[in-house]
Amino acid sequence: MNIKILGPGCKKCEKLYNLTNEVLDELEKQANITKVTDFNDIASYGVMKTPALVIDENVKFSGKVPSKKDLKKLLK
């Protein structure tokens, strides 16, 4: 599984990154997590609001940090 956190490095972006790692640990899943901070790269996903979560090149959330429960559903 490849996961990308899209955002300039703001507090919400860091929160999403940390929450994603936490959920992966709880689910005992392995994934490659990458932070994408370049605005051109972020825009290439059609994302206008950050943070955004991309799983295997599909945008799952944009403009908010999902709840832990919602994130677990996506990562199972």
Among 8, 9, 10, 11, which one carries the catalytic annotation?
A: 10
Q: How far is CA 29 from the centre of its chain?
A: 15
Whether 48 is catalytic: no
Pairing of strands 32-36, 2-6: parallel
Among 13, 36, 65, 71, which one carries the catalytic annotation?
A: 13
What is the phi-psi region of residue 30: left when phi exceeds 0, alpha when psi lies from -120 to 50, beta otherwise? beta
Whether 66 is catalytic: no
Instruction: List the catalytic residues.
Output: 10, 13
